[in-house]
Amino acid sequence: MAEYSVCVVGATGAVGQEILKVLAQRKFPLAKLRLLATARSAGKKIAYGGEELTVEETRASSFEGMDIALFAGGAASTEFADAARKAGAVVIDNSSAFRLNPEVPLVVPEVNPEDVRWHKGIIANPNCSTIIMVVPLKPLHDAAGIKRVVVSTYQAASGAGAAGMQELLDQTRAVLDGEPFTPKAFAHQIAFNLIPHIDVFQELDYTKEEWKMVRETRKMFHNENMRITATAVRVPVSRSHSESINVETEKPLLPDQAREILSRSPGIVIVDNPANKRYPMPVDVTDRDEVFVGRIRQDNTLENGLNLFVAADQLRKGAATNAVQIAELLVRENLL
């Protein structure tokens, strides 16, 4: 089997650490692994495959000899992605920098794997909430045609990185102990609270996070007229996002038909037994790569409508796993 030289940019961050874990768990065929990060993290040691690797500062010259550059997100993407591409590496990028660029494919392997074929050296990983939504939407769209989507997200503190997770823990202790605290990672108290605001507000008073779900889904489904509306909410959960999705379809699709379709679809686990109180929950999906789907039921207000509740680990399928799956797809399709 051929092996490939891979670098991980942002290797010390939450997504970077998950990428390393996923590469090992999925046994990606590595000839060489290079860990890159900011100057502040350079020199750190990270264990991988029974040895200790030293983190290097990311430079334009860091990508020589690399086949794949996995960018964990952040400012490094705009600063170094082009240098990586020019050095001959295929960039798989977790930031939002390239997602809506018409020259860059935006890919979820279960949804639009064919789009990797027209890459020009950079492939974008969608937003975590978008990935979690489109994995179950695609097979339903193929079966019955989607006219409209209404989605509300319940996004964990980990979506704001390690600082968000730590703030949730610290605030929870402070509230229980009656101690004062000042929110930093979030605009408001996150402990014992919900914040209907993720990222900056943009046109029509939707947030950037909400527009990402609209525009990225349209791009991957190759349908700029697909009607999608989103509300993104931060919840006091440490890890793994959930979503309530309402779908209106062109053709009739009964809940049992939807369950059968989804149960045969890649990357999906059905957990849908209300009588026994079984449905997707963040605590059950953490550290898993699939999107869990349940509460599948008819929308009693529409002729052709369904409601779903989904949950998935946004650090894995919503970021790291999807990026590694794209790398695996490139290998299978001989596109490196």
Q: From CA 73, how far away is CA 95, in angstroms rounded?
A: 4
141 is catalytic: no
Q: Which residue has the tokens 């026994």?
A: 276
Q: From CA 115, how far away is CA 279, in angstroms rounded?
A: 33
222-249 residues labelled b (16+ CB within 10 A) or e (exposed): eeeebebebbbbbbbbbbbbbbbbbbbb
Residue 245 in tokens = 């999705």
Return the C-alpha torsion angle 160, 162, 168, 172, nearest 10: -170
**330 three-state secondary structure:** helix
119 is catalytic: no
Is residue 196 within 8 A of residue 233, CB to CB? The reply is yes
* Residue 170 CB burial class (10 angstroms; 0-12, 13-18, ≥19): middle
User: Which residue is catalytic, options 128, 141, 197, 222?
Assistant: 128
| Catalytically annotated residues | 128, 241
